[in-house]
Amino acid sequence: MSFSALPDEMRAMLLDAPGKPLRLAHVPVPHPGPGEVAVKVEACGVCRTDLHVVDGELPQPKLPLVPGHEIVGRIAALGEGVARFRIGERVGIPWLGWTCGECRFCRAGKENLCEKALFTGYTRDGGYAEYTLADVRYCFPVAESYDAAEAAPLLCAGLIGYRSLRMAGEGKTLGLYGFGAAAHIVAQVARHEGWRLFAFVKPGDETARGFALSLGAEWAGGSDDAPPELLDAAIIYAPAGPLVPAALRAVAPGGRVVCAGIHMSDIPSFPYDILWRERSLHSVANLTKADGSEFLALAPKVPVVTTVEPMPLERANEALARLRDGRLTGAAVLVME
């Protein structure tokens, strides 16, 4: 093992049980095992998936748990066998935290579907802390041109946005349902690649509507509105099942609707007619190592500019509450002192 001088103790926000507020605690600093690295966290984004974990919508989290999976930090210690990184190098740590490497999905390069996968900030401790551990296979270099807080949303909102855009296909007109952290990143990538954008926001939310227009959407309306023309593809980021039939009605024959979240409320029944004529419906699960490498290399070239609100670690509950209530523009990010 190679490491800089790790402290004995660190601050962390802990989830003791779903539905309860996180508590600030002082806990031992973890040391990496074989194939792992210890990372000194600089910033950790607050993601909607964190809400699903904290609110109990994703079952059986590790408890007590340090949430958080949009992590940017510096390598502080190397476990046995790790030669890929150096002490002090900047890395990002995403949601997918470990895979078996042996199941049929891992062998096929579809490790995002691994049957035994572990997830950062859910079944592995995450980044709402001053230090965290990561499997070296799921650490990605992060460009030094980004401030740590600006880079943090790239690790989930950006990565899932990128994978969902790739699944949207080769069309020219794209609808984005829910214009939060993920949509505000993927909008920039989509525009860079030549898509025309149409944004769907919570009815009456003029702030989100203006935000979408400022990022290149040529039309922005309520999620219950019909776009001015049929779309080639639509991506749903809001965890609301009723948006699925709405999006199917908004896409042209042969169009594709992509559900980008890990959790969604029940999808209501809908007539076969809005799926017919070769419209399709897809979900997105996690990410692959290729997604991580490709997107984090692409982001500074676009360049993707994130809109963030930095907050100190101890305000994690406030950040989650504001995300839950829809009172954020862009993304909240916890920053370590």
Q: Considering only CA atoms, which of 180, 172, 232, 173 is closest in space to residue 201?
A: 180
pLDDT for res 330:
87
What angle do helix axes 206-214 and 181-192 make, rounded to 10 degrees? 30
* pLDDT band, very low/low/confident/very high, at 211 (cuts 50, 70, 90): very high
Q: What's the pLDDT tens digit per position in 216-252? A: 999 999 999 999 999 999 999 999 999 999 999 999 9
Q: What is the pLDDT of residues 50-95, one digit of tens each?
A: 999 999 999 999 999 999 999 999 999 999 999 999 999 999 999 9
Compute the radius of gyration of the chain from its Cα atoms. 20
Q: According to the model, what pLDDT value does residue 337 have?
A: 77
Half-sphere exposure of 13 (CA within 13 A, CB side): 25
Rounded CA separation 113/43 (Å): 27
Residue ranges of domains in the chain, CATH in brackets = 2-155+307-335 (3.90.180.10), 159-283 (3.40.50.720)
Q: How far apart are CA 134 and CA 90, in angstroms?
A: 13
Per-residue pLDDT band at 176 (split at 50, 70, 90): very high
Beta bridge partners of 25: 12
* Under 8 Å between Cβ of 193 and 335: no
Mind giving me the DSSP string for 146-200? S-HHHHGGGGTHHHHHHHHHHHT-S-SEEEEES-SHHHHHHHHHHHHTT-EEEEE
Average pLDDT in the chain: 96
Burial 45-60 (b: 16+ CB within 10 A, else e): bbbbbbbbbbeeebee
Residue 2, pLDDT score:
52
pLDDT digits 0-9 by tens, 281-336: 999 999 999 999 999 999 999 999 999 999 999 999 999 999 999 898 889 999 99
pLDDT in tens, 116-168: 999 999 999 999 999 999 999 999 999 999 999 999 999 999 999 999 999 99
Which of the four pLDDT bands, split at 50, 70 and 90, describes residue 34? very high
Q: How far apart are CA 296 and CA 143, in angstroms?
A: 8
